Amino acid sequence: MPTPYSHKHFFRKIPPSQLARYFASKEVDLGIDFSAFNIKQVDSLFSAFTGLPEGQQTTFESEFQDIHAMACDGGIQALIDESAFHKDDGFVAAISEIDGLHAKVMWAYLEKQYLWQGATLFLHADNVSSAYWKKRNDFPPVSPDVEDSAIKALADSISAYFNKTEGRGRNCKVEPYRRHNKEYFFAYPEDFGLSAVEWIGKDLKSRARHPAFEIIFVYCESEGSLDIYAPRNTKSIPELQKLFANTILHLDTLPDGSVDKRVYDLNPLADAEFMFQVEPDSGIERIEVMQLRLTLKYGSKKRIILEADTKHDPSAIYDLLGLLKPPPHYITQARVKVIFEPKLGKRARTRTFNITYPNSLSLGHDGDDLKIRNILAKSGIEPRA
C-alpha cells in the first residue's frame, strides 16, 4: 500500500515532464521550468503550489491523492483489468516501459483517462474489509442485464427500499463495470443528512450535507454467485439480493436465506508435512503458516492461539505445536503469509491473510489474491460444497 500522502513526497515521485504535462492541462503556470527541474527544487515547487488560489489547490490535492492511492501493485493491476475490458491491447506493454509506480499511474491518468474511474473503483473494492462481503452461490446461470433501464431499475429499487424502511435513500445512483468474468455494480444511495464543521475560505462554519453510503454487488454468471458489500447494512442483504435478482437478472422469485454454505477444511494446516500446491511459474517463493487458532473438541468455547516468528524458521509454528501438545482440537483459524519471488533490485513482496472457519477469507478476487485463492483450491483448503 502507498505511504501517507504529502505534497513534497508526491512531487519527488512524479517525473518533471509529467508534472509539466499535468499543470499545462489545467492551464496553470507555476513559474517553474520543469525542463530543468530536479529533486532539489521540490521546496520551490511546493511554495508555488501552496500559493495557488484555494479552490484550485483543493481540486489538485484531491486528484493527487487519488493518483498516489493508485500507485501500488493493486492499482496497476486494476488499470490493466480495465484496459482489457476496453480492448486496449497496447496498454500492458506501454505501462511496463515506465519506471516507478507513481510515474506509471500518472501516465495512465494523463493518457488513458477513460480507464481511470473503473480502475479506482476496482482497487477500492479489492481493499475493503472482507468481513463485510456476503456471498450467495445458488443463482441460476442468467446473463445480467446492464442496459441503462435495468441499472436505473436497480437504483430506483434500492432507493425505494431504504426510503421506506429507514427514511433515507431518497436518491441513488448505480455504476456498472465489467472485470474479467464478473460484473461489478457500485451503488450510492443518499444517506441521512448530517452537519460537519468545514473551512469555507477563511471562515470555519457548520455545513449541512447529504452524503452517500456505498453498496457493491459483484455477480459471476459462471459461478452463479453474488457477493454484496454493505457495511453496517448486513440485515438488508437478503432484500438486496432479491432486488438485484429482480432488476438485473429478471428473476421473479428468489428462495429465502440461501448463503454460501461451503466451509474451509483447515485441519490439514496443523500437519507439518502439509504442502501448498504452488506452480513453478507462479512467482511465489514460499507460503508460511504464522498463526493457528485451535478450538478444543471438548469443553465449551475453549480456544488456544499459537503464533510463531517464521522469519528464520518457516516451520516454527509446527515446532511450537509439537512442544505444547495441546488436547484434541479443530483448527478454526489460520494466518498465512505468501512470499513472492523478489524482482531484480527489490525486496520480496508479501501478502498476509486470515482464513477463518467456516468460510471467511481476507482475500480479494483478482490479481495476486485470485492466484492465492487458486492455490488454496488446489491444496484442498478452498471451501467445498
Report the pLDDT value the prediction gives residue 144, as an integer from 0 to 100.
97
* Planar angle of CA 242, 124, 199, nearest 5 degrees: 110
Q: Please check whether residue 254 lies inside any domain of the structure.
A: no
Cis peptide before 140 (omega within 30 of 0): no
Nearest 10 degrees: Cα torsion 154, 156, 157, 161: 140
pLDDT in tens, the chain (385 residues): 567 899 999 999 999 999 999 999 999 999 999 999 988 889 999 999 999 998 899 999 999 999 999 999 889 999 999 999 999 999 999 999 999 999 999 999 999 999 999 999 999 988 887 777 888 888 888 999 999 999 999 999 999 999 999 999 999 999 999 998 899 999 999 999 887 788 777 788 887 777 899 999 999 998 888 999 998 888 999 999 999 999 999 998 776 655 555 678 899 999 999 999 999 889 999 999 999 999 998 776 789 999 999 988 999 999 999 999 999 899 999 999 999 998 877 788 899 999 988 878 888 777 788 889 889 989 988 765 4
Let me know whether 31 and 70 are in one domain.
Answer: yes
Domain end (from 247, 279, 311):
247
Let me know whether 89 and 107 are in one domain.
Answer: yes
Q: Is 225 exposed, middle or buried (0-12, 13-18, 19+ CB in 10 A)?
A: middle
Let me know whether 273 and 329 are in one domain.
Answer: yes
Q: Please check whether residue 2 lies inside any domain of the structure.
A: no
Domain end (from 70, 94, 127):
127
Report field, pTM of the whole predicted structure over 0.95: no
Q: Please check whether residue 218 lies inside any domain of the structure.
A: yes
Domain end (from 72, 106, 127):
127
Let me know whether 120 and 136 are in one domain.
Answer: no
Q: How many CB atoms lie within 10 A of CB 185?
A: 24
Distances (CA, A) of 91 to 86, 95, 105, 111, 371: 10, 6, 12, 10, 22
Q: At what angle do helices 367-378 and 73-85 cross, to 10 degrees?
A: 90
Let me know whether 227 and 273 are in one domain.
Answer: no
Let me know whether 169 and 198 are in one domain.
Answer: yes
Q: Please check whether residue 43 lies inside any domain of the structure.
A: yes
Q: Please check whether residue 383 lies inside any domain of the structure.
A: no
Q: Quote the CA–CA distance of 144 and 247 in Å, as a whole number.
A: 9
All three cell numbers of 385, joined, read 460444497
**CATH number of the domain enclosing 236:** 3.30.310
The count of structural domains within the chain is 3
Q: Please check whether residue 149 lies inside any domain of the structure.
A: yes
Let me know whether 118 and 202 are in one domain.
Answer: no
Let me know whether 162 and 87 are in one domain.
Answer: no
Strands 225-229, 329-340: pairing kind: unpaired
Report the pLDDT value the prediction gives residue 262, as an integer from 0 to 100.
64
Tally of helices (H runs) and strands (E runs) in the chain: 12, 12
Q: Please check whether residue 217 lies inside any domain of the structure.
A: yes
Domain that residue 358 falls in? 267-378
Q: In the beta sheet, which residues pair with residue 198? A: 205
Q: Please check whether residue 13 lies inside any domain of the structure.
A: yes
Let me know whether 315 and 334 are in one domain.
Answer: yes
Let me know whether 19 and 63 are in one domain.
Answer: yes
Let me know whether 164 and 241 are in one domain.
Answer: yes
Let me know whether 237 and 142 are in one domain.
Answer: yes
Beta-carbon contacts of 384 under 8 Å, excluding residues fewer than 6 positions away, are 262, 263, 265
Report the pLDDT value the prediction gives residue 260, as an integer from 0 to 100.
57
Report the pLDDT value the prediction gives residue 357, as an integer from 0 to 100.
86
Nearest Cα neighbor of 261 from 189, 357, 194, 338 is: 357
